[in-house]
């Protein structure tokens, strides 16, 4: 089978398209013929070993795992003897960061990493969901403890996580303000935002409006800016960002949390089948929907990563493994 391989850390040019053996499955695994995968910031962080401390788990001098790709959608090819939820031929989607290999024609995934694909979505749309939507859900629900009637600010509302965060904040009953550039204002309103701030024209931190929960997706503002826009017991949740932003949030955020009634936290998505199944229900009823920016063939993964690194996608970037059906 064909797969994208990385045997060294570095830029997208370090990736190679190679012919490798089809994976074998264990007793609790599902062999999936991958039709589509989605690109996440997670993938280029792994590719570049950024932050450097990540090498303690991914490999100090070279990557322990040579296959990238965490989000997949495809059809079950075979199942292990202990698998009970899935049968060959069924369409599934899932988050497989624990094993990797989404940028390949086949992947062996644990049964617990998958769910049945929403019947109303294409493979490309389904692949866009797992990591981004679970990050948004867990950031708002678990990190932000968002409740109905509260005011939520989504900073970085145009990307993969942000587009799901706007929708899920509405599902949780919040009054939602989205922060994005002018090119994404209409999209944010279409996704359900009550208010939209074009950051090129207006500074949310200087408006005087206070929010109960701020979810910053790769937020590029200081903690003081976010603190200024929080209510007295508000919660700031950081998702992604540069090394300096993450360390600032971890160190200064802990100090600020102890010093007052506000909370500053950094969250990392925890893949689980329960959340994926919950999202499946929302997708099938049309309460939320994925937003796709661009699709690339498997051979163009390096180009797709370069586009993602520019930092301005409007939704998810998809890797088409099989011909679109």
pLDDT tens-digit series, residues 271-295: 999 999 999 999 999 999 999 999 9
Domain at 2-129+291-320, CATH class: alpha beta
Domains of the chain, by residue range, sit at 2-129+291-320, 131-266
- Answer yes or no: same fold for 2-129+291-320 and 131-266: no
Length in residues, the chain? 325
Phi, psi of 233 (to 5 degrees): -115, 30
The rounded mean pLDDT for the chain is 91
- In this prediction the pTM is 0.93
| Cβ atoms of residues 144 and 215 within 8 Å | yes
Q: Are the CB atoms for 114 and 90 separated by under 8 Å? A: no
Query: What's the CATH code, domain 131-266?
Result: 3.40.50.720
Nearest to 65 by CA among 20, 132, 35: 20
Beta bridge partners of 55: none
pLDDT at 156 over 80: yes
Query: Is the pLDDT confidence value at 325 over 60?
Result: no
Minimum mean pLDDT range among 10-19, 32-41, 305-314: 305-314
Distance CA 267, CA 214 (A): 13
CA dist 30 and 109 (Å) reads 5
Distances in Å between the alpha carbon of 154 and those of 119, 132, 137, 196, 254? 29, 14, 12, 10, 21
**pLDDT confidence tier of residue 50, bands split at 50, 70 and 90:** confident
Return the DSSP state at 26: -
């Amino acid at each position: 089978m064909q797969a994208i391989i990385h045997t060294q850390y570095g830029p997208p040019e370090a990736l190679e398209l190679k012919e490798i053996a089809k994976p074998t499955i264990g007793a609790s695994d599902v062999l999936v013929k991958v039709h589509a995968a989605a690109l996440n910031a997670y993938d280029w962080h792994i590719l570049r070993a950024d932050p450097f401390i990540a090498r303690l788990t991914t490999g100090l001098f070279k990557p322990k795992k040579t296959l990238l790709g965490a989000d997949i959608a495809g059809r079950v090819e075979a199942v292990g003897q202990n698998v009970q939820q899935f049968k060959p031929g069924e369409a599934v989607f899932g988050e497989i960061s624990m094993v990797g290999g989404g940028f390949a024609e086949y992947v062996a995934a644990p049964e617990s990493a998958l769910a049945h694909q929403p019947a109303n979505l294409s493979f490309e749309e389904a692949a866009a969901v797992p990591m981004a939507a679970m990050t948004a859900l867990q950031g708002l629900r678990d990190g932000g403890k968002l409740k109905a009637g509260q005011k939520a600010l989504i900073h970085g509302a145009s990307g993969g996580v942000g587009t799901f965060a706007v929708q899920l904040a509405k599902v949780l009953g919040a009054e939602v303000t989205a922060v994005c550039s002018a090119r994404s204002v209409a999209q944010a309103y279409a996704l359900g935002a009550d208010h939209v701030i074009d950051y090129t024209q207006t500074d949310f931190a200087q408006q005087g409006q206070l929010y109960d929960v701020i979810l910053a997706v790769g937020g590029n503002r200081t903690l003081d800016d976010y603190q200024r826009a929080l209510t007295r017991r508000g919660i700031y949740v950081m998702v992604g960002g540069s090394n300096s932003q993450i360390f600032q949030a971890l160190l200064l955020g802990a100090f600020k949390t102890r010093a007052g009634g506000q909370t500053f936290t950094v969250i990392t998505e925890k893949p689980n089948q329960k959340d994926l199944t919950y999202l499946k229900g929302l997708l099938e009823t049309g309460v939320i929907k994925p937003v796709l920016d661009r699709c690339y063939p498997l051979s163009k993964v390096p180009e797709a990563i370069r586009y993602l690194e520019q930092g301005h996608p409007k939704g998810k970037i998809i890797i088409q493994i099989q011909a679109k059906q």
